[in-house]
């Protein structure tokens, strides 16, 4: 019998060995593959036990983000004779929330200061229109009260802090028409015309001295908030170059004692015993002298000057004095007369109301009444008259001396400060 190691037998056994080896290799690959799969599947790995598992990365669906909050905004203006509650109702705020807003405002907002034109702004979250997300009460650029819920949902009020900025501006206009109109065309608030007339009142009559082509230059303080003009401050320097007036230039100066006034280049006071006019701004509708009476219809001497102005315009005394008349005076209607220390007496006629009493001491620029059309008048205006020893004088022709100039001890200080203002007026240095 042949041995199992007989070389002759080997050719027959070789295919079987090869097949066996191939099968073993396939099984090994399968086992390795299965083992790899188990390693990547923690459940299978745990089932078979043993072996080190690789980190598992599990794909988790992205959480959906909440939709953005949409805020609905409504804005209204307070109207005449409307209460805060009524305005909130107009905004669509229910009664309970309106009461809560008013309670929140009570200790912060002075309701008596509410006025027509104030802005009310309501913000509500879409889907929660029954609740106030934020309520804002705005009264001009610098006054704003904000009401919104705290963490507990209770409405609270906070007054928004607004930074008020001061700067000095150079305003220059060529006059076409009135000074008022010219400043408005230059983008300035026409209220600046009143301030300019006030400063120049002793040297320039804005009712009769103004001519086309005149030039006005002002250095004026401006106070603003959030980029919007709040108000004008002091006029630091004023210059009017007119064909009728010549060049008039005045500087505001406060001496070491605290006295403030306006002075010209030489230190002479701009202030005189009398103002040029008893109104801040108006038009002369009738001058001094003969004219046809608008009511009686016949020729009669007009013993004063008429200024056309709306009813309610403040009328001030042109100088210091004592009230000698305060009441009804025939065709003059409601009248105030003031007796001055220089022997002159001034009369203010056709007033709608009187602001002083008989015998009272009044100061220059103190309001003595308001323009009206009482007595013999066809429209609202002020009849202004001046008397000396019972005789009427032309108010526009009065020559009144200036008051005392700057004290010599302060002259150098004034001249140094005036030089800076003069350079700024001329535009040769940066405005302060």
The mean predicted confidence, pLDDT, of the chain is 82
Question: What CATH number is given for 283-397 in this structure?
Answer: 2.70.70.10
Quick one: pLDDT at residue 64?
65
Topology given in CATH for the domain delimited by 71-159: Nuclear Transport Factor 2; Chain: A, (3.10.450)
Topology given in CATH for the domain delimited by 164-263: Nuclear Transport Factor 2; Chain: A, (3.10.450)
Contacts 24+ apart (CB under 8 A), 97-102: 97/130, 97/131, 97/132, 100/132, 100/155, 101/132, 101/135, 101/147, 101/155
Residue 382: pLDDT over 70: yes
> 311, 371 in Cβ contact below 8 A?
yes
Stated pTM of the model: 0.56
Q: Which residue has the higher pLDDT, 98 or 54?
A: 98
Quick one: pLDDT at residue 283?
74
pLDDT mean over 342-370: 94
- The answer to whether the 71-159 and 164-263 domains have the same CATH topology is yes
Using pLDDT thresholds of 50, 70 and 90, give the confidence band for residue 236.
very high
Quick one: pLDDT at residue 351?
97
pLDDT mean over 365-383: 92
Quick one: pLDDT at residue 66?
67
How far apart (Å, rounded) are the C-alpha atoms in residues 208 and 216?
15
Can you give the residue ranges of every domain in the chain?
71-159, 164-263, 283-397
Tens-digit pLDDT profile for residues 284-307:
877 666 645 444 444 566 788 999
Q: Which residue has the higher pLDDT, 119 or 300?
A: 119
SS (H, E, C) the chain: CCCCCCHHHHHHHHHHHHHHHHHHHHHHHHHHHHHHHHHHCHHHHHHHCCCCCCCCCCCCCCCCCCCCCCEEEEEEECCCCCCHHHHHHHCCCCHHHHHHHHHHHHCCCCHHHCCCCCEEEEEEECCCCCCCCEEEEECCCCCEEEEEECCCCCEEEEECCCCEEEEEEEEEEECCCCHHHHHHHCCCCCHHHHHHHHHCCCCCCCCCCCCCCCEEEEEEEEEEECCEEEEEEEEEEEEEEECCCEEEEEEEEECCCCCEEEECCCCCECCECCCCCCCCCCEEEECCEEEECCCCCCEEEECCEEEECCCCCEEECCCCEEEEEEEECHHHCEEEEEECCCCEEEEEEEEEEECCCCCCEECCCCEEEEEECCCCCCCCEEEEEEEECCEEECHHHCCCCECCCCCHHHHHHHHHHHHHHHHHHHCCCCCC
Residue 346: pLDDT over 90: yes
How far apart (Å, rounded) are the C-alpha atoms in residues 252 and 198?
13
Residue 5: pLDDT over 60: no
Of the candidates 280, 283, 282, 260, the residue with the CA atom closest to the CA atom of residue 271: 260
């Amino acid at each position: 019998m042949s041995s199992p190691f007989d070389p002759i037998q080997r050719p027959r056994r070789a295919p079987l060995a090869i097949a066996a080896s191939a099968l073993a290799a396939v099984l090994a690959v399968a086992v390795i593959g299965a083992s790899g799969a188990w390693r990547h599947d923690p459940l299978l790995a745990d089932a078979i036990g043993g072996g080190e598992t690789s980190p598992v990365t599990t794909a988790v669906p992205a959480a959906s983000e909440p939709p953005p909050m949409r805020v609905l905004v409504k804005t209204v203006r307070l109207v005449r004779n409307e209460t805060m509650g009524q305005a909130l109702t107009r905004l669509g705020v229910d009664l309970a929330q309106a009461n809560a807003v008013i309670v929140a405002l009570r200790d912060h907002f002075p309701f008596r200061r509410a006025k027509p034109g104030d802005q009310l702004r309501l913000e509500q979250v879409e889907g929660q229109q029954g609740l106030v997300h934020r309520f804002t009460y705005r009264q001009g650029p610098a006054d704003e009260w904000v009401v919104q819920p705290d963490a507990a949902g209770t409405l609270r009020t906070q007054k928004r802090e607004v930074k008020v900025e001061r700067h000095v501006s150079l305003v220059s206009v060529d006059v076409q028409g009135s000074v008022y109109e010219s400043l408005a065309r230059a983008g300035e608030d026409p209220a600046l015309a009143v301030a300019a007339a006030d400063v120049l009142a002793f040297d320039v009559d804005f009712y009769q001295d103004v001519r086309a082509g005149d030039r006005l230059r002002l250095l004026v303080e401006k106070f603003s908030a959030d980029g919007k003009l709040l108000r004008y401050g002091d006029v630091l320097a004023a210059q009017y170059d007119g064909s009728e007036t010549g060049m008039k230039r005045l500087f505001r100066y406060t001496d070491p004692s605290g006295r403030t006034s306006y002075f010209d280049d030489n230190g002479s006071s701009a202030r005189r015993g009398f103002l040029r006019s008893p109104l801040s701004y108006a038009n002369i509708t009738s001058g001094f002298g003969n004219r046809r009476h608008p009511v009686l219809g016949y020729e009669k001497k007009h013993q004063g000057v008429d200024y056309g102005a709306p009813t309610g315009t403040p009328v001030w005394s042109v100088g210091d004095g004592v009230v000698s008349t305060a009441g009804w005076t025939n065709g003059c209607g409601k009248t105030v007369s003031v007796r001055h220390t220089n022997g002159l007496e001034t009369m203010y006629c056709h007033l709608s109301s009187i602001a002083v009493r008989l015998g009272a001491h009044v100061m220059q620029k103190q309001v003595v009444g308001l323009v009206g059309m009482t007595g013999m008048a066809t429209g609202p205006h002020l009849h202004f008259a001046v008397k000396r020893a019972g005789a009427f004088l032309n108010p526009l022709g009065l020559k009144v001396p200036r008051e005392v100039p700057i004290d010599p001890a302060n002259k150098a200080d004034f001249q140094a400060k005036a030089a800076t203002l003069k350079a700024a007026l001329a535009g040769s240095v940066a405005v302060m």
